[in-house]
Structure 1
């Protein structure tokens, strides 16, 4: 349409020019114009009309086209800018999902439901070793913590809360071979800690010893002396919660995950974000379990582990620590048991992951460990006895006997200890 109008407009303009020219010539020569001036004017008007239509149509079309192009340009711009921006946000969200408090809270809530179910059922959980893996770590609260820093806190009820530390290889290396302190009594520590028998489905063995340990949230072998600076780094944990059914489960599994990283990366400057969150059901004073989040700065480790605070075959009141286990009391040891029970730090203190002190099947204290034969820096255990470490390994010779429990080899084995396969600078098999 615009082409036709343009053609008519052009033709009319040409006619108008020709008629206008003739009119001027005839007018100058005083000849008859025969309405040439009027016709030229009419042709000019017609030309303007059609040229206007053509121009207007072209303008309208061009405007519409321009609008379309602008729209497409805006769309392309949105596609180029907005979509990658959204993708970047989504990517960032995925990377930071584990660090989002709301995400972590949701995960912890779901894990707590499972822990309540397992503990109510007196279960060792899906692995039968008092832990299971959750996937990637959800570490939070590390913004202001640098290498070597740690933070222990209580919750609103005064119970041990989340424990955090940025672990270094130096702390691990410095804590090997001996205990760096004495476990502290956690909030909610039971008034009674009976010796019990716990039969493990996973190993087919039976543990005889104290039901509860003073369990580190971040253990001695990882944080050294710093792990003893606050009672908020300790919770009341069952013996299997501490070391599992085979001495490598429960909290010990999480700790060994970190230890294996250091062993594989000696003297590294990389660090580990290590975070343990005890999970309580309502206002109970003893946690149903914990979540341990571990993430290395080089990305080799990024894992979360749920630990179950229960004991197979024993019903526990998580508000008071009372239980239905039948206590095991040897008639020949009743007096010594009563004496040890009078001191909160002489029994069942256990390290967070290493299940410390003792195979608590005996009441032998560290002081009796001095009865061995000393030769230079080394002390040899008395005949028939061994020195038992916090990690449930036993040795015949040690440099620091006060850091071990000295007991008969048969008693150590009955409590689940095994002879160390190799020695170190502090102990020999």
Structure 2
């Protein structure tokens, strides 16, 4: 209940200021006779309209104390100085000087709050001097102590609230900034994920469709000459299409709802290279696979990178090397890196490209994720070669490397 009331008051600051000004105004008007009645001993009477003007001048501007704290403090201080100059003793409305000192300390810079504190202290000094010191022969300045202590307490309290407000505002701004950064990172991650899916889709579709097209052409040619070979080609088409659908379902599964059910096959790795080579070989491209070195356990994502690089390289070989080309895949396990070399004896530099593929770019991006590199180009003796170097150890931070 109190929290909602406090929140409502924060949304209506002008109403709070009006409510704050009303009690002091009412109290000041209630004691009007104390300042206008000449029968009261020890006080100089003033006209009633003059006293009402003083009350209005010190209370009405309080309505705008939050919006223009310095201006309202100046008005209240000037009105207080005017009735001091006419030797009119301080009244309830003079308490607004301390209220405005607090408002300036909480809402303005330090130099303005310090100036307001000095002005308030100066007003306390001259008030004590006129109304307490001069009438007494003992020159008692002890009455100044409570005014000084109260002025310092109001000023320090305002500075504390100002500091807390700035600190809270800084935390809120930091939270908003972190939220914007989080949204930006989410957008970047989403874009990276879309790019990854696009590369995966390119690898799957380019490889599978190429196999299907080659097998379909062969089946249509052999259906009358060798029905058995045509049947095997159609079976290869069916198996390749089913595998492509499985992989596409797996990759597009990241777009499904969290509560959607469904099982997806694991990502292909190095162990599936022999199956990949078999598919390429059955599609009409003679391919050999050799493995050198001691096989080591590699991360799943790195194995996927190896598989996709080989798949993309063989797909390009089948598309551009020519009908009589052969290819060789060599996988070498080193102490700190895995090296893949894919060679063919096809057209090489004479091969034509439509310029629309993203396979080489995708291979370089995949290798770069692990600090590796991919080189591709025509061989000196004819054909084409793709070489990939993929570190299997995490690279050390630059500071550690420099220290070493």
Shorter-chain TM-score: which interval? under 0.3
Which structure is richer in relative contact order (CA contacts within 8 A, separation 6 or more)?
1
TM-score, reference length from structure 2? 0.28
Between Structure 1 and Structure 2, whose CA radius of gyration is higher?
2
Quick check: which one's helix share is greater?
Answer: 2
